[in-house]
Amino acid sequence: MALFSLNNVAIKGIAASVPNEVQSNSDLALIPEKDRDLLIRTTGIKYRRVAKFGTCASDLCLAAAEKLMASLQWEKESIQALVFVTQTPDYITPASAIVLQQRLGLSKSCLAFDINLGCSGYVYGLAMAASIIAAMPNGRALLLVGDVSSACISHSDKSVVPIFSDAGSATALQHDSSATAMTFNLESDGSGYDAIIIPAGGYRAPVSAEALQYMELEPGIARNQMHLVLNGIDVFNFSVREAPQNVQALLQHLGLKTSDVDSFVFHQANKLINDTIARKLQLAPHQAPQSLREFGNTSSATIPITIVSQLAQQLINAPAKLVFCGFGVGLSWGSVYLETKGMEILPLIEVA
Amino acid sequence: MDEFIAMLYDELGPLPTGALSPETQFRQLEAWSSMTALLIIARIDADYQVAITAAELASAHTVSDLYQLVKKPN
Protein backbone atom coordinates (compact mmCIF):
# COMPACT_ATOMS: atom_id res chain seq x y z
CA MET A 1 0.00 0.00 0.00
CA ALA A 2 1.46 3.37 -1.03
CA LEU A 3 0.71 4.88 2.36
CA PHE A 4 3.51 7.11 3.64
CA SER A 5 4.27 10.22 5.66
CA LEU A 6 6.55 13.16 4.88
CA ASN A 7 7.94 15.37 7.61
CA ASN A 8 9.34 18.89 7.51
CA VAL A 9 7.22 20.30 4.68
CA ALA A 10 4.61 23.06 4.91
CA ILE A 11 2.29 24.64 2.36
CA LYS A 12 2.98 28.38 2.54
CA GLY A 13 0.48 29.58 -0.02
CA ILE A 14 -2.03 28.74 -2.75
CA ALA A 15 -3.24 30.76 -5.75
CA ALA A 16 -5.65 29.76 -8.52
CA SER A 17 -6.41 31.31 -11.86
CA VAL A 18 -9.20 30.97 -14.42
CA PRO A 19 -9.86 32.40 -17.88
CA ASN A 20 -12.21 35.38 -17.65
CA GLU A 21 -14.64 33.95 -20.19
CA VAL A 22 -17.68 32.43 -18.48
CA GLN A 23 -20.10 30.12 -20.28
CA SER A 24 -23.40 28.99 -18.78
CA ASN A 25 -25.03 25.58 -18.99
CA SER A 26 -28.40 27.41 -18.86
CA ASP A 27 -27.97 28.42 -22.48
CA LEU A 28 -25.89 25.57 -23.84
CA ALA A 29 -27.36 24.97 -27.32
CA LEU A 30 -26.02 21.39 -27.40
CA ILE A 31 -28.51 20.35 -24.69
CA PRO A 32 -32.27 20.55 -25.37
CA GLU A 33 -33.74 23.39 -23.33
CA LYS A 34 -36.06 21.08 -21.36
CA ASP A 35 -33.08 18.99 -20.17
CA ARG A 36 -30.87 21.85 -18.98
CA ASP A 37 -32.34 22.18 -15.47
CA LEU A 38 -31.92 18.46 -14.78
CA LEU A 39 -28.38 18.64 -16.11
CA ILE A 40 -27.51 21.57 -13.81
CA ARG A 41 -29.17 19.93 -10.81
CA THR A 42 -27.43 16.60 -11.38
CA THR A 43 -23.95 17.86 -12.21
CA GLY A 44 -24.19 20.88 -9.90
CA ILE A 45 -22.45 22.82 -12.67
CA LYS A 46 -23.99 26.09 -13.80
CA TYR A 47 -20.99 28.01 -15.14
CA ARG A 48 -17.75 27.04 -16.86
CA ARG A 49 -14.54 28.95 -17.62
CA VAL A 50 -13.22 28.61 -21.14
CA ALA A 51 -9.70 29.58 -22.19
CA LYS A 52 -9.05 31.50 -25.39
CA PHE A 53 -7.81 29.36 -28.26
CA GLY A 54 -4.07 28.98 -27.75
CA THR A 55 -4.06 29.74 -24.02
CA CYS A 56 -2.34 26.83 -22.30
CA ALA A 57 -2.56 25.44 -18.78
CA SER A 58 0.99 26.73 -18.32
CA ASP A 59 -0.20 30.30 -19.01
CA LEU A 60 -2.87 30.06 -16.31
CA CYS A 61 -0.40 28.52 -13.86
CA LEU A 62 2.23 31.15 -14.68
CA ALA A 63 -0.19 33.94 -13.70
CA ALA A 64 -0.92 32.18 -10.40
CA ALA A 65 2.76 31.46 -9.70
CA GLU A 66 3.93 35.03 -10.33
CA LYS A 67 1.35 36.53 -7.98
CA LEU A 68 2.00 33.91 -5.32
CA MET A 69 5.80 34.42 -5.38
CA ALA A 70 5.29 38.20 -5.15
CA SER A 71 2.83 37.88 -2.30
CA LEU A 72 5.14 35.55 -0.33
CA GLN A 73 8.13 37.75 -1.19
CA TRP A 74 9.97 34.69 -2.43
CA GLU A 75 13.15 35.46 -4.32
CA LYS A 76 13.15 33.57 -7.61
CA GLU A 77 16.64 32.21 -6.87
CA SER A 78 15.31 30.60 -3.69
CA ILE A 79 13.12 28.09 -5.55
CA GLN A 80 14.79 24.73 -6.16
CA ALA A 81 11.94 22.66 -7.58
CA LEU A 82 9.12 23.21 -10.05
CA VAL A 83 6.62 20.40 -10.57
CA PHE A 84 3.93 20.89 -13.22
CA VAL A 85 0.92 18.57 -13.32
CA THR A 86 -1.16 18.70 -16.50
CA GLN A 87 -2.69 16.67 -19.29
CA THR A 88 -2.71 19.66 -21.60
CA PRO A 89 1.00 20.52 -21.93
CA ASP A 90 2.41 23.16 -24.29
CA TYR A 91 4.15 20.52 -26.43
CA ILE A 92 4.32 16.74 -26.61
CA THR A 93 7.96 17.30 -25.85
CA PRO A 94 9.77 19.05 -24.08
CA ALA A 95 8.09 19.10 -20.68
CA SER A 96 6.24 22.36 -20.02
CA ALA A 97 7.78 22.64 -16.54
CA ILE A 98 11.13 23.36 -18.13
CA VAL A 99 9.68 26.04 -20.40
CA LEU A 100 8.07 27.50 -17.25
CA GLN A 101 11.41 27.54 -15.40
CA GLN A 102 12.66 30.06 -17.93
CA ARG A 103 9.39 32.00 -18.27
CA LEU A 104 9.15 32.39 -14.48
CA GLY A 105 12.77 33.53 -14.31
CA LEU A 106 13.78 30.70 -11.98
CA SER A 107 17.39 29.70 -11.56
CA LYS A 108 19.04 27.06 -13.73
CA SER A 109 19.79 25.17 -10.51
CA CYS A 110 16.03 24.58 -10.14
CA LEU A 111 14.84 21.07 -11.02
CA ALA A 112 11.71 20.96 -13.21
CA PHE A 113 9.53 18.19 -14.63
CA ASP A 114 5.95 17.38 -15.68
CA ILE A 115 3.55 14.81 -14.30
CA ASN A 116 0.86 13.49 -16.66
CA LEU A 117 -2.15 13.06 -14.38
CA GLY A 118 -5.62 14.57 -14.30
CA CYS A 119 -8.15 14.52 -11.50
CA SER A 120 -5.81 12.79 -9.03
CA GLY A 121 -2.94 15.09 -10.03
CA TYR A 122 -3.02 17.68 -7.27
CA VAL A 123 -2.54 15.05 -4.56
CA TYR A 124 0.15 13.21 -6.54
CA GLY A 125 1.93 16.48 -7.38
CA LEU A 126 1.86 17.47 -3.73
CA ALA A 127 3.40 14.11 -2.78
CA MET A 128 6.20 14.47 -5.35
CA ALA A 129 7.02 18.12 -4.59
CA ALA A 130 6.83 17.52 -0.84
CA SER A 131 9.15 14.47 -1.11
CA ILE A 132 11.79 16.64 -2.75
CA ILE A 133 11.45 19.51 -0.29
CA ALA A 134 11.46 17.15 2.71
CA ALA A 135 14.93 16.05 1.64
CA MET A 136 16.19 19.58 1.01
CA PRO A 137 16.94 21.85 4.02
CA ASN A 138 15.90 25.43 3.11
CA GLY A 139 14.14 23.95 0.06
CA ARG A 140 11.31 25.74 -1.65
CA ALA A 141 9.10 24.31 -4.41
CA LEU A 142 6.37 25.52 -6.70
CA LEU A 143 3.69 22.97 -7.52
CA LEU A 144 1.81 24.17 -10.61
CA VAL A 145 -1.35 22.25 -11.46
CA GLY A 146 -3.90 22.93 -14.17
CA ASP A 147 -5.64 21.96 -17.37
CA VAL A 148 -7.39 23.55 -20.33
CA SER A 149 -9.77 20.65 -20.95
CA SER A 150 -11.71 22.86 -23.38
CA ALA A 151 -8.83 22.25 -25.80
CA CYS A 152 -9.14 18.45 -25.83
CA ILE A 153 -12.90 17.90 -25.83
CA SER A 154 -15.22 17.95 -28.83
CA HIS A 155 -17.49 20.98 -28.63
CA SER A 156 -20.16 18.83 -30.30
CA ASP A 157 -20.16 16.26 -27.47
CA LYS A 158 -22.86 16.85 -24.86
CA SER A 159 -21.36 14.16 -22.60
CA VAL A 160 -18.32 16.34 -21.82
CA VAL A 161 -18.99 19.99 -22.77
CA PRO A 162 -21.26 20.80 -19.77
CA ILE A 163 -18.79 19.30 -17.28
CA PHE A 164 -15.29 20.51 -18.06
CA SER A 165 -13.87 23.93 -17.31
CA ASP A 166 -10.37 25.45 -17.41
CA ALA A 167 -8.12 26.55 -14.53
CA GLY A 168 -4.57 26.73 -13.27
CA SER A 169 -3.01 26.94 -9.83
CA ALA A 170 0.19 27.45 -7.88
CA THR A 171 1.05 26.00 -4.48
CA ALA A 172 4.14 27.11 -2.57
CA LEU A 173 5.92 24.49 -0.44
CA GLN A 174 8.77 25.09 1.95
CA HIS A 175 11.00 22.97 4.17
CA ASP A 176 9.76 23.63 7.72
CA SER A 177 10.96 21.57 10.67
CA SER A 178 7.93 22.65 12.71
CA ALA A 179 5.45 21.26 10.18
CA THR A 180 3.21 18.31 11.09
CA ALA A 181 3.66 15.27 8.82
CA MET A 182 1.69 15.04 5.58
CA THR A 183 0.38 11.50 5.13
CA PHE A 184 -0.48 10.21 1.67
CA ASN A 185 -2.42 7.19 0.39
CA LEU A 186 -1.88 6.89 -3.40
CA GLU A 187 -3.37 4.17 -5.63
CA SER A 188 -3.77 3.26 -9.31
CA ASP A 189 -5.67 0.78 -11.52
CA GLY A 190 -4.70 0.56 -15.18
CA SER A 191 -7.50 -1.90 -15.95
CA GLY A 192 -9.69 1.18 -16.27
CA TYR A 193 -7.30 3.03 -18.60
CA ASP A 194 -10.02 3.56 -21.21
CA ALA A 195 -12.70 4.95 -18.85
CA ILE A 196 -11.35 8.44 -19.58
CA ILE A 197 -9.12 8.55 -22.63
CA ILE A 198 -7.99 10.52 -25.67
CA PRO A 199 -7.59 7.50 -27.97
CA ALA A 200 -5.31 8.94 -30.69
CA GLY A 201 -2.44 11.40 -30.93
CA GLY A 202 0.07 9.49 -28.81
CA TYR A 203 2.28 6.77 -30.23
CA ARG A 204 -0.13 3.82 -29.77
CA ALA A 205 -2.44 5.47 -32.32
CA PRO A 206 -0.56 8.34 -33.97
CA VAL A 207 -2.20 11.36 -35.55
CA SER A 208 -3.71 10.42 -38.92
CA ALA A 209 -6.41 11.62 -41.27
CA GLU A 210 -8.62 8.85 -39.90
CA ALA A 211 -8.06 9.94 -36.30
CA LEU A 212 -9.31 13.41 -37.23
CA GLN A 213 -12.51 12.13 -38.82
CA TYR A 214 -15.61 13.31 -36.90
CA MET A 215 -18.15 10.62 -36.13
CA GLU A 216 -21.66 11.15 -34.80
CA LEU A 217 -22.12 8.38 -32.25
CA GLU A 218 -25.60 9.44 -31.15
CA PRO A 219 -27.57 12.68 -31.31
CA GLY A 220 -25.52 15.36 -29.52
CA ILE A 221 -22.35 13.28 -29.40
CA ALA A 222 -19.93 13.86 -32.28
CA ARG A 223 -16.18 13.69 -31.88
CA ASN A 224 -12.95 12.40 -33.43
CA GLN A 225 -10.26 10.12 -32.01
CA MET A 226 -8.20 13.08 -30.75
CA HIS A 227 -11.00 14.12 -28.38
CA LEU A 228 -11.53 13.10 -24.79
CA VAL A 229 -13.99 10.23 -24.23
CA LEU A 230 -15.58 9.79 -20.82
CA ASN A 231 -17.50 6.67 -19.73
CA GLY A 232 -19.78 8.38 -17.19
CA ILE A 233 -21.21 5.25 -15.59
CA ASP A 234 -17.90 3.47 -15.06
CA VAL A 235 -16.31 6.67 -13.73
CA PHE A 236 -19.23 7.06 -11.32
CA ASN A 237 -18.86 3.48 -10.06
CA PHE A 238 -15.08 3.80 -9.71
CA SER A 239 -15.25 7.15 -7.92
CA VAL A 240 -17.89 6.25 -5.36
CA ARG A 241 -16.18 2.91 -4.62
CA GLU A 242 -12.51 3.93 -4.41
CA ALA A 243 -12.48 7.51 -3.08
CA PRO A 244 -14.34 6.73 0.19
CA GLN A 245 -12.30 3.53 0.76
CA ASN A 246 -9.04 5.36 0.15
CA VAL A 247 -9.93 8.14 2.60
CA GLN A 248 -11.15 5.62 5.19
CA ALA A 249 -7.87 3.69 4.96
CA LEU A 250 -5.89 6.93 5.35
CA LEU A 251 -7.85 8.01 8.43
CA GLN A 252 -7.70 4.53 9.94
CA HIS A 253 -3.92 4.47 9.47
CA LEU A 254 -3.72 7.77 11.36
CA GLY A 255 -6.22 6.72 14.05
CA LEU A 256 -8.56 9.55 13.08
CA LYS A 257 -12.33 9.78 12.62
CA THR A 258 -13.97 11.87 9.91
CA SER A 259 -15.18 14.23 12.63
CA ASP A 260 -11.53 14.99 13.53
CA VAL A 261 -11.05 16.63 10.10
CA ASP A 262 -12.19 20.22 9.53
CA SER A 263 -12.53 20.04 5.74
CA PHE A 264 -12.35 17.34 3.09
CA VAL A 265 -11.48 18.90 -0.25
CA PHE A 266 -12.44 16.42 -2.97
CA HIS A 267 -11.80 16.60 -6.66
CA GLN A 268 -14.93 18.22 -8.07
CA ALA A 269 -16.18 15.63 -10.58
CA ASN A 270 -19.89 16.38 -10.56
CA LYS A 271 -22.48 16.85 -7.83
CA LEU A 272 -23.89 13.31 -8.12
CA ILE A 273 -20.45 11.78 -7.55
CA ASN A 274 -19.36 14.25 -4.87
CA ASP A 275 -22.61 13.98 -2.90
CA THR A 276 -22.42 10.17 -3.04
CA ILE A 277 -18.84 10.15 -1.74
CA ALA A 278 -19.74 12.56 1.08
CA ARG A 279 -22.75 10.41 1.99
CA LYS A 280 -20.67 7.20 2.06
CA LEU A 281 -18.18 8.87 4.41
CA GLN A 282 -21.07 10.36 6.43
CA LEU A 283 -19.62 13.86 6.20
CA ALA A 284 -21.51 16.92 7.38
CA PRO A 285 -22.23 19.27 4.45
CA HIS A 286 -19.85 21.94 5.79
CA GLN A 287 -17.01 19.36 5.86
CA ALA A 288 -17.03 18.82 2.08
CA PRO A 289 -17.18 22.19 0.30
CA GLN A 290 -18.04 22.24 -3.42
CA SER A 291 -17.11 24.75 -6.11
CA LEU A 292 -18.92 23.00 -8.97
CA ARG A 293 -21.63 25.59 -9.53
CA GLU A 294 -19.23 28.39 -10.45
CA PHE A 295 -16.21 26.52 -11.81
CA GLY A 296 -17.31 23.04 -12.97
CA ASN A 297 -14.82 20.19 -13.25
CA THR A 298 -11.43 21.79 -13.80
CA SER A 299 -9.63 18.42 -13.89
CA SER A 300 -6.38 18.58 -11.88
CA ALA A 301 -7.14 22.11 -10.58
CA THR A 302 -10.39 21.41 -8.69
CA ILE A 303 -8.78 21.08 -5.27
CA PRO A 304 -6.92 24.44 -5.33
CA ILE A 305 -9.95 26.11 -6.98
CA THR A 306 -12.16 24.85 -4.13
CA ILE A 307 -9.65 26.00 -1.51
CA VAL A 308 -9.35 29.49 -3.01
CA SER A 309 -13.08 29.95 -3.65
CA GLN A 310 -14.57 28.21 -0.58
CA LEU A 311 -12.00 27.93 2.21
CA ALA A 312 -9.81 31.04 2.03
CA GLN A 313 -11.18 32.66 5.19
CA GLN A 314 -10.79 29.49 7.28
CA LEU A 315 -7.28 28.73 6.10
CA ILE A 316 -5.58 32.14 6.01
CA ASN A 317 -5.47 32.84 9.73
CA ALA A 318 -6.51 29.74 11.63
CA PRO A 319 -4.96 26.27 11.94
CA ALA A 320 -6.82 23.50 10.12
CA LYS A 321 -6.86 19.72 9.75
CA LEU A 322 -7.47 18.85 6.12
CA VAL A 323 -7.90 15.92 3.76
CA PHE A 324 -7.49 16.40 0.02
CA CYS A 325 -8.69 13.59 -2.25
CA GLY A 326 -8.36 13.33 -6.04
CA PHE A 327 -9.69 10.54 -8.29
CA GLY A 328 -10.09 9.99 -12.01
CA VAL A 329 -8.28 9.39 -15.28
CA GLY A 330 -5.77 6.53 -15.15
CA LEU A 331 -7.51 5.25 -13.21
CA SER A 332 -5.59 7.02 -10.49
CA TRP A 333 -6.62 8.21 -7.05
CA GLY A 334 -5.23 9.27 -3.72
CA SER A 335 -5.65 11.34 -0.61
CA VAL A 336 -3.50 13.29 1.82
CA TYR A 337 -4.01 14.32 5.43
CA LEU A 338 -2.25 17.49 6.48
CA GLU A 339 -2.41 20.15 9.16
CA THR A 340 -1.93 23.81 8.30
CA LYS A 341 -1.16 26.73 10.57
CA GLY A 342 -2.37 29.60 8.42
CA MET A 343 -1.16 30.28 4.92
CA GLU A 344 -1.30 32.82 2.12
CA ILE A 345 -4.38 32.27 -0.04
CA LEU A 346 -4.73 34.75 -2.86
CA PRO A 347 -8.06 35.93 -4.28
CA LEU A 348 -9.00 34.14 -7.51
CA ILE A 349 -6.98 35.46 -10.46
CA GLU A 350 -8.78 36.06 -13.78
CA VAL A 351 -6.73 35.83 -16.96
CA ALA A 352 -7.84 37.67 -20.11
CA MET B 1 -39.98 -5.61 -8.24
CA ASP B 2 -42.77 -3.14 -7.32
CA GLU B 3 -40.35 -1.16 -5.21
CA PHE B 4 -37.83 -1.16 -8.06
CA ILE B 5 -40.42 0.11 -10.54
CA ALA B 6 -41.48 2.81 -8.07
CA MET B 7 -37.85 3.93 -7.95
CA LEU B 8 -37.74 4.11 -11.76
CA TYR B 9 -40.90 6.25 -11.79
CA ASP B 10 -39.15 8.50 -9.34
CA GLU B 11 -36.04 8.96 -11.49
CA LEU B 12 -37.71 8.98 -14.92
CA GLY B 13 -40.89 10.82 -13.95
CA PRO B 14 -43.30 12.32 -14.49
CA LEU B 15 -44.73 9.32 -16.38
CA PRO B 16 -48.35 8.25 -16.74
CA THR B 17 -49.47 5.41 -14.44
CA GLY B 18 -48.84 2.07 -16.13
CA ALA B 19 -46.04 3.46 -18.30
CA LEU B 20 -43.56 1.10 -16.64
CA SER B 21 -43.90 -2.67 -16.37
CA PRO B 22 -41.32 -5.47 -16.23
CA GLU B 23 -41.59 -5.75 -20.03
CA THR B 24 -41.05 -2.03 -20.75
CA GLN B 25 -38.19 -1.36 -23.17
CA PHE B 26 -36.79 1.50 -21.11
CA ARG B 27 -34.55 2.89 -23.88
CA GLN B 28 -37.67 3.68 -25.91
CA LEU B 29 -38.94 6.05 -23.22
CA GLU B 30 -38.61 9.72 -24.03
CA ALA B 31 -37.37 10.35 -20.50
CA TRP B 32 -34.44 7.93 -20.96
CA SER B 33 -31.10 9.68 -21.59
CA SER B 34 -27.48 9.28 -20.55
CA MET B 35 -28.27 11.66 -17.68
CA THR B 36 -31.24 9.66 -16.36
CA ALA B 37 -29.19 6.47 -16.84
CA LEU B 38 -26.53 7.88 -14.53
CA LEU B 39 -29.18 8.95 -11.99
CA ILE B 40 -30.62 5.43 -11.96
CA ILE B 41 -27.16 3.87 -11.55
CA ALA B 42 -26.56 6.23 -8.61
CA ARG B 43 -29.96 5.39 -7.11
CA ILE B 44 -29.32 1.64 -7.44
CA ASP B 45 -25.95 2.15 -5.74
CA ALA B 46 -27.64 4.02 -2.88
CA ASP B 47 -30.75 1.82 -2.46
CA TYR B 48 -29.37 -1.64 -3.28
CA GLN B 49 -25.58 -1.22 -2.76
CA VAL B 50 -25.03 -2.71 -6.23
CA ALA B 51 -22.70 -1.22 -8.85
CA ILE B 52 -23.94 -1.76 -12.41
CA THR B 53 -21.23 -1.28 -15.04
CA ALA B 54 -21.72 0.50 -18.35
CA ALA B 55 -21.34 -2.85 -20.17
CA GLU B 56 -23.97 -4.54 -17.98
CA LEU B 57 -26.37 -1.67 -18.52
CA ALA B 58 -25.82 -1.90 -22.29
CA SER B 59 -26.87 -5.59 -22.13
CA ALA B 60 -30.21 -4.75 -20.46
CA HIS B 61 -33.23 -3.88 -22.59
CA THR B 62 -36.30 -4.28 -20.40
CA VAL B 63 -37.08 -3.15 -16.87
CA SER B 64 -36.94 -6.82 -15.89
CA ASP B 65 -33.39 -7.15 -17.35
CA LEU B 66 -32.34 -4.18 -15.23
CA TYR B 67 -33.91 -5.70 -12.14
CA GLN B 68 -31.99 -8.95 -12.70
CA LEU B 69 -28.75 -6.92 -12.65
CA VAL B 70 -29.73 -5.35 -9.35
CA LYS B 71 -30.34 -8.80 -7.90
CA LYS B 72 -27.03 -10.23 -9.17
CA PRO B 73 -24.80 -11.70 -6.47
CA ASN B 74 -22.20 -9.06 -5.61
Phi then psi dihedrals of residue A29, to 5 deg:
-60, -25
Q: Give the tens place of pLDDT for each residue, A156-172.
A: 999 999 999 999 999 99
Of B35, B53, B57, the CB nearest to A38: B35
Mean pLDDT in residue range A56-79: 98
Which residue is closest to B46 within chain A, CA to CA? A276
Contact A42 B38 (CB under 8 A): yes
Residue A54 pLDDT exceeds 70: yes
Cα distance between residue B7 and residue B29, in whole Å: 15
Q: Considering only residues 35 to 74 of chain B, which have any Cβ-Cβ distance to chain A shorter than 8 Å?
A: 35-39, 41-42, 45-46, 51-54, 57
Residue A1 pLDDT exceeds 80: no
Percentage of chain A lying above the pLDDT 90 cut: 99
Mean pLDDT in residue range A123-137: 97
- Of the pLDDT bands very low, low, confident and very high (cuts 50, 70, 90), residue B74 is low
Residue A259 pLDDT exceeds 70: yes
Interfacial residues of A (vs B; Cβ cutoff 8 Å) = 35, 38-39, 42, 159, 231-234, 236-237, 240-241, 272, 276, 279
Mean pLDDT in residue range B6-33: 89
This prediction has a pTM of 0.96
- Of the pLDDT bands very low, low, confident and very high (cuts 50, 70, 90), residue B14 is confident
Mean pLDDT in residue range A180-199: 97
In a 3-state reduction of DSSP, which class is residue A207? Answer: coil
- Of the pLDDT bands very low, low, confident and very high (cuts 50, 70, 90), residue B73 is low
Q: Between β-strands A349-351 and A9-19, what pairing exists: parallel, antiparallel or unpaired?
A: parallel
Residue A292 pLDDT exceeds 60: yes
Which residue is closest to A231 within chain B, CA to CA? B54
Complex ipTM value: 0.90
Name A349's bridge partners. A17
Q: Give the tens place of pLDDT for each residue, A298-325.
A: 999 999 999 999 999 999 999 999 999 9
Of A159, A231, A276, the CB nearest to B45: A276
Mean pLDDT in residue range A108-127: 98
Mean pLDDT in residue range A246-251: 98
CB atoms within 10 A of CB A295: 27
**pLDDT averaged over every residue in chain A:** 97
Q: What is the pLDDT of residue A84?
A: 98
**Are residues A305 and A169 in contact, defined by beta-carbon separation less than 8 angstroms?**
yes
**Are residues A168 and A49 in contact, defined by beta-carbon separation less than 8 angstroms?**
no
Q: What is the pLDDT of residue A304?
A: 98
Contact B57 A233 (CB under 8 A): yes
Contact A232 B38 (CB under 8 A): yes
**Are residues A17 and A168 in contact, defined by beta-carbon separation less than 8 angstroms?**
yes
Of B33, B42, B57, the CB nearest to A272: B42
Query: Could you tell me how many residues make up chain B?
Result: 74
**Are residues A322 and A256 in contact, defined by beta-carbon separation less than 8 angstroms?**
no
Mean pLDDT in residue range A97-124: 98
Q: What is the pLDDT of residue B19?
A: 87
Of B33, B36, B53, the CB nearest to A237: B53
Mean pLDDT in residue range B49-73: 91
Q: What is the pLDDT of residue A23?
A: 98
Contact A233 B39 (CB under 8 A): no
- Disruptive mutation site among B12, B29, B35 for chain A (greatest number of A CBs within 10 Å): B35
